[in-house]
Chains A and B, each alone.
Chain A
């Protein structure tokens, strides 16, 4: 039998029907749902008189619109946001799907809740009407974002019409240097491939540096596969993966666990499996990075200077001019001289417990720079509870951070957490697009440790220098 990639194996195990032209019906094991991209899909089901095909495989949680301030039990002020969340409450009830409402301690960002509750397991197909579904690939699950029409299709049929993507391997060899994190890996990869470099591919991340990451770190890496244009990111499951899954509420137990684990252990790319594209980066070459522009591919080590439009080719020249104007930056200035107004630590990229520990390690016993607005938004109610138990919350509050309730918050600013025009933010989220965090807002993406470092100095800051001072 010929060698297969991890992607080939998961794909083959989920094809429910294949037409002559290669169009497949891919069976979906887990369908995650949130309030923004689902109302029209449920409405479609109602209009056509259809039910949800597999309600036991469908999980919903509101996250994008929910307030993250401590007084959220008083309800949602914005009427449209409230209607959207109420629509999800009703749809979950009417269609009988698993639901974590706003007041449930397990509520949080959908991509954090799925793994946390053991819904996401190795070898599964996972979809959600949200591009950062790629996150779940960290478990060796084939996970990707879909549009609302596809959400309706999955609700009605538990399948998705798909053609197979190509295989791409991104190998990060060796060890990371001190101060370099999973976020720096994933940003560095996008900096090299560009935001369209992965288009048409499923990326498998491998290599020693990836293996050494915790599950949280691996989720950070896969989360941003979509920013490189890939359909999905994957990491082969190993002991760390099994350890993470074991004992979670919806993970298999007892004999079922044993059978599952046997199967999971077959999930890796065979020796000699062929990849259509390969990128290799040395772990030692990765530096702590930040973004300077309005595309996630605009990545540079924090020690660099703001680039000049002339340094680029083609359409990128105009794009860089536009970005620099939007970002209010001058070519040649040191990135470490860029002054920030706000710090946002959270999102499905970096809102997990390990991210909060990394931020706390920097902030312990220190105070944020006067005049900065700083917030930490845990990815789920359970992450928040754990951070409180570990004493992290106290460190944040003492340092001058707002300690919020779980949700997407300022990652996309659909709730009141927004930047004002011109406000500059050090953010641990995944997109620095124009207006992403609020109209006219300026976003620099980075790791939680780097965002914490920026909160202390008021500038984009090299975490390695901070540690030595």
Chain B
């Protein structure tokens, strides 16, 4: 997995609440058997006209936001289906961090598995960053995972919380499966125990 330490980049405002995974990546793009190449389809129905041309007013189509690396979003971002195609598409587009007042559970988990940092901040702080993001490409937001801070373009610092285990994995690009396989003996003894206590499973 890709590591995440810190970044300074363009942040795009997406104030919608309940942005669902069907909006992030509609089902017609779930037919791939690969993880890559989904960036062009990110937010497809909001981003493109029926004929495939770009909708000029969609945020990521505006010149100032073409190189967006941070998304500042409304509450309950990523609700809906479990499709990991959503973080794959976000990652492939080049967005490495999403800041919102709240995230849907499965989407939030999926981000960490793909080197994306989802940051939860109180609504008023997200609002402040949303205003900052509206300033365009000159307003770069900085994120530092080590110190758990977000710094707005005018130097205001916001602290965020993150689960220590997830932070460790993200900062070191660790693979979950390798980590779990180190505990193989625990899994085996659990299985032996369960074979006695719940043999019908």
Contacts and interface: CB of A to CB of B under 8 A. Distances in A.
Chain B interface extent, by class: 35 or more
A13 B50 CA distance: 51
B105 A200 contact: yes
A304 interface: no
A230 B106 CA distance: 10
Contact of B102 (A21, A81, A196): A196
A434 B26 CA distance: 9
A161 interface: yes
A196 B104 contact: yes
A36 interface: yes
Contacts of A297: 18
10 contacts: A27-B191, A27-B194, A83-B31, A123-B198, A129-B82, A149-B110, A196-B102, A199-B104, A433-B20, A433-B22
Given A65-B31, A80-B31, A153-B177, A199 B18 contact: no
A199 B17 contact: no
B33 A84 contact: yes
A68 to B, nearest CB: 15
B133 to A, nearest CB: 16
- Classify chain A: how many residues form its interface, as a range: 35 or more
Interface in A30-52: 36-37, 39-40, 43, 48, 50
B200 A435 contact: no
Given A39-B33, A199-B102, A316-B17, A435 B26 contact: yes
A131 B84 contact: no
Nearest to A194: B76
Given A21-B164, A84-B31, A150-B109, A319 B18 contact: yes
B113 A147 contact: yes
B110 A315 contact: no
Interface of B: 15-18, 20, 22-23, 26-28, 30-35, 45, 50, 74-76, 79-84, 87, 102-106, 109-110, 113-114, 163-165, 176-177, 180-181, 183-184, 186-187, 190-191, 194, 197-201
Nearest to B76: A196
A37 B187 contact: no
Nearest to A258: B200
B84 to A, nearest CB: 4
Given A16-B183, A40-B35, 14 more contacts: A21-B163, A21-B165, A23-B165, A37-B84, A145-B81, A147-B109, A156-B177, A157-B184, A158-B187, A196-B75, A295-B20, A412-B27, A412-B81, A434-B45
A433 B33 contact: no
Contacts of A295: 18, 20
Interface of A: 13, 16-17, 19, 21, 23, 25, 27, 29, 36-37, 39-40, 43, 48, 50, 57, 64-65, 78, 80-81, 83-84, 87, 121, 123-124, 129-131, 144-150, 152-153, 156-159, 161, 163, 195-196, 199-200, 229-231, 252, 256-257, 259-260, 263, 295, 297, 314-316, 318-319, 322, 412-414, 421, 431, 433-436, 439
B176 A256 contact: no
Contact of A148 (B84, B102, B104): B84
A57 B186 CA distance: 19
Given A229-B104, A252-B200, A150 B113 contact: yes
A27 B22 contact: no
A433 B84 contact: no
Given A40-B33, A40-B34, A199 B20 contact: no
A259 B200 contact: yes
Contact of A124 (B177, B186, B201): B201
Contact of A259 (B105, B187, B199): B199
Contacts of A37: 82-84
B57 to A, nearest CB: 14
A201 B177 CA distance: 26
B101 to A, nearest CB: 9
Given A27-B194, A147-B82, A157 B30 contact: no
Nearest to A148: B84
A334 B164 CA distance: 51
Contacts of A315: 15-17, 74-75
Nearest 5 pairs of A and B residues by beta carbon: A80-B31, A149-B113, A252-B200, A315-B17, A39-B33
Contacts of B27: 412-414, 436
A130 to B, nearest CB: 6
Contacts of B187: 16-17, 25, 27, 157-159
A97 B146 CA distance: 42
A104 to B, nearest CB: 22
A195 B22 CA distance: 15
Contacts of A25: 180, 183, 186-187
A263 B180 contact: no
Contacts of B16: 315, 318-319, 322
Given A16-B187, A156-B181, A146 B82 contact: yes
B108 to A, nearest CB: 9
A229 B22 contact: no
A16 B190 contact: yes
Contacts of B45: 434-435, 439
B125 to A, nearest CB: 15
A436 B81 CA distance: 11
A87 B76 CA distance: 33
Contacts of B28: 414
Contact of A149 (B80, B84, B163, B183): B84
Contacts of B81: 130-131, 145, 412, 431
Contacts of B114: 149
